Structure 1
Amino acid sequence: MKGEKKSVHQQYLLNDYKAPTPEAKERAEDIRLNKEEMKIFMSYSELSGELLVLGLGGCYVGQGEVITRSKKMYPSRNKKGLHQKAMLGSLAFCMEELEDVLNNKVTLPDTISFYTNLKSNGINLATEIDGDSEKRELVDKVQELKRTIIQDFPQMHFEFRELDKDMRRYNPFFAAANNAARRVIDKNK
């Protein structure tokens, strides 16, 4: 035993589950019960293999309800810009599902806020995307869906907000979108 390195494992000091702060719990409850604004959190999950599969997930929160939706997406095998394509695909999917979610509401919210991290990843929906045709098609689809939603629901205000670290931390709705994306591609197994 002499001269043998002894390692100290301090795993017992780590929390298995970090409990959200009281402020985070209050923020989540405020988001869920907000009658004037519906927040939409989106996420994706990647399953690499012979065929590249993305799971897209969205969580619609507001007016006392939490609704999650998910679907699979099969992008090209080109890994370049995959994160941007996945986020654009997730945004397009959430916008496609929005009309169905709104049609099941008794009262419509005044504002719809889409929380995404496209800007921090170099995508501006207002400008033309050069290069990748798949990304360009997704941006065109998002812009067309935005026009359609604004035409169908002219009384509502639509916002695209950055999903920053503070909004992700202890956010059960972002986690629900992420879990829905993972579940649709069986990544939890």
Structure 2
Amino acid sequence: MGDVLAIVGSTWFADVTAFDTARTEILGVFHRRRPDAVVSGGAPGIDSLAARLAREHGIPVQEHLPRQRRWAGEGGFEERNLLIARDCTRLMRIACRWSPTYGSGWTLEQARRLGADTWNLRLPQTLAAGTLYAPVGRSMVGLLVRDGVIVALPAEAGTTGWLGRPVDPVVMSLRRRRVRAVWVPLKAAGKPGRPSGISPDRRNGP
């Protein structure tokens, strides 16, 4: 079988820098220990990024695609993910810190159970400083975050109860309601506030 690297992860990220970070991490893995093949699930996001980068570097790619858009049963996501776990000798998972689903995490657990080397990267890795954009009414408002805590917010968000709260449970609550939030690290924004010309939905699409 040789050295087969599986790369799986989220289809969407709140962090606007996530795909740049993911690209750097994937290429770093290729350069440190070039795999004989890359396997993924063909989903939008990390799976597709990994397959594209592998092909650009002349690495054979095997994509296991689900035949049914459901978890259990023949041809479903569970079967697809188990094929990925069985086919790899190493598995890298790159996931949104606030992902409401755990499909790629389940794949990592199965690969580890079957003896593969695994590692897990969650993005954003740190919440030291940045701005979280979240919908309040019909507006997208910026919440200033320091050391993982919401420390300032505009008047429109004054009744949310978010001020002084850790940002993780706030975003997880939004994601459970299928509401998208956008994380802009301070280094990406240059200063608190939305970077000029960036639409959260366009920047963070699959």
TM-score w.r.t. the length of structure 1 is 0.29
Structure 1 or 2: more helix by fraction: 1
Larger Rg: 1
